[in-house]
Structure formats: structure tokens, C-alpha cells
């Protein structure tokens, strides 16, 4: 029979007590390359519109408002490109017995907790930028959702995938064993009730 006992707040593990492991520092290079490449496309497109005169150069470079806007855009691009230098060191992950934790963020810290019991599939992916720095990403699929976690050495990402799949299989076996045990006990009680009648 299903029971749902109350849990004392003092018994709940706090995330701040977790010993976080750092992701690979090569993720800084990977994300800087990705951001730089993305913004380079926009800059080339902008220059491509100025050269034939579709965007008048005098509006951008000789107009005070245009110069201010251009300066703001250039500053924003520089910040976006170098952002990984500050953001990546604040990422971390933990593999526990029953779940996987991952944290990231500077202004807004987000912590993801993925219970192994809810995971349906696990993948490791390697993008072009991952390949340059020998990293891999871990992709976890749960019911109706998928989460991608960056910053693992490629070999470690594959090992982590194998470990998580093994844990998922173990938990599935445990649940099947519990269901069979519960069903057997239930049938036993029904048989006793029938015999007593």
C-alpha cells in the first residue's frame, strides 16, 4: 500500500551543501568561438549593406545618434563575445546516486535537478565548436522535455552517459521488483481473506 509520510525540513539535503565539480575550462574557448562566429556573421551582413549604400554611411558614421548607437552595439558585441570568461567558471555539476545536478548563470543562477527515474534517453552530442576543443555535451530526455548540458571532456561525457543509462536500468529493475513484490503480497492477502471466509 502506498504511504506518503511527512518529511522534516532538517532532513532535506540542501543544494548549497553539494560539492560541485567544475566543467572544463575549454568551454570558455568553445563559447567564445561560437559567440564570435555568430556576431561576425551579423557584422559582415551590416558591412555588406553599407558598401552598396543600402544603409547610408553618413547616417551611421557622421550622425551623432548613429555614432552613439554604433558604439552601444559594438560594446554589446564585445560583452557577448567575452561573456563566457565570466560565466563558465560559475557552472558546475554533480552526479549523485539518484539524480544529476547542473548549475549555471551569473545574474540569475539556475540549478537543474534531473532524477534518474525520470530519464528516458541519454545522448552525447559534439558540435563543430565542441570538436575544436575536444568537448562533448550531455543531452538528457525526460517525459516531454530535453535538457542539454555543456562543458564535459568528450570521453567523460561518454562515460557519464553510460553511467546514467546504467543507473536508469538499475532503477527500472528495482521498480519492477517492487511491483512484483507488492502484487505477490496483495495476492497473498486476498488468498488469506478468501480462505478465512
- The C-alpha atoms of residue 30 and residue 10 are separated, in whole angstroms, by 41
Task: Give me the numbers of helices (H) and strands (E) for the chain, helices first please.
Answer: 5, 7
Q: In a structure prediction context, what are the per-residue pLDDT tens digits for the chain, which is 197 residues long?
A: 556 677 676 666 666 678 999 999 999 999 999 999 999 999 999 888 888 877 787 777 788 888 898 899 999 999 999 999 999 999 999 999 889 999 999 989 999 999 998 999 999 999 999 999 999 999 999 987 899 999 999 999 999 999 999 999 988 887 776 666 655 555 555 555 445 55
Identify the pLDDT of residue 105.
Answer: 93
Q: Are strands 92-95 and 135-142 parallel, antiparallel or unpaired?
A: unpaired
- The C-alpha atoms of residue 111 and residue 93 are separated, in whole angstroms, by 9
Identify the pLDDT of residue 193.
Answer: 47
Name the residue among 92, 105, 106, 115 with its Cα closest to residue 18.
92
Reading across the β-sheet that carries 145-153, which strands appear in turn? 119-125, 135-142, 145-153
Do residues 24 and 107 touch, judged by C-beta distance below 8 A?
no
> What's the longest Cα–Cα distance across the chain?
99
DSSP state, 13? P
Is domain 91-196 classified as CATH 2.60.120.10? no
Amino acid at each position: 500500500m502506498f504511504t506518503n509520510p511527512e518529511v522534516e525540513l532538517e532532513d532535506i539535503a540542501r543544494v548549497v551543501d553539494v560539492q560541485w565539480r567544475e566543467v572544463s575550462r575549454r568551454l570558455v574557448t568553445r563559447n567564445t568561438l561560437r559567440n564570435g562566429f555568430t556576431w561576425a556573421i551579423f557584422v559582415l551582413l551590416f558591412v555588406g549593406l553599407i558598401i552598396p549604400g543600402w544603409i547610408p554611411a553618413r547616417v551611421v558614421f557622421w550622425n551623432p545618434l548613429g555614432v552613439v548607437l554604433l558604439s552601444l552595439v559594438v560594446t554589446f558585441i564585445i560583452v557577448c563575445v567575452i561573456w563566457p570568461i565570466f560565466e563558465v567558471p560559475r557552472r558546475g555539476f554533480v552526479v549523485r546516486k539518484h539524480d544529476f545536478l547542473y548549475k549555471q548563470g551569473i545574474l540569475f543562477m539556475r540549478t537543474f535537478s534531473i532524477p534518474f527515474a525520470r530519464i528516458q534517453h541519454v545522448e552525447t552530442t559534439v558540435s563543430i565548436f565542441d570538436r575544436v576543443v575536444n568537448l562533448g555535451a550531455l543531452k538528457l530526455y525526460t517525459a516531454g522535455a530535453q535538457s542539454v548540458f555543456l562543458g564535459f571532456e568528450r570521453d567523460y561525457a561518454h562515460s557519464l552517459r553510460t553511467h546514467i543509462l546504467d543507473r536508469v536500468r538499475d532503477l527500472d529493475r528495482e521498480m519492477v521488483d517492487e511491483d512484483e513484490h507488492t502484487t505477490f503480497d496483495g495476492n497473498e492477502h486476498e488468498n488469506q481473506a478468501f480462505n478465512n471466509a
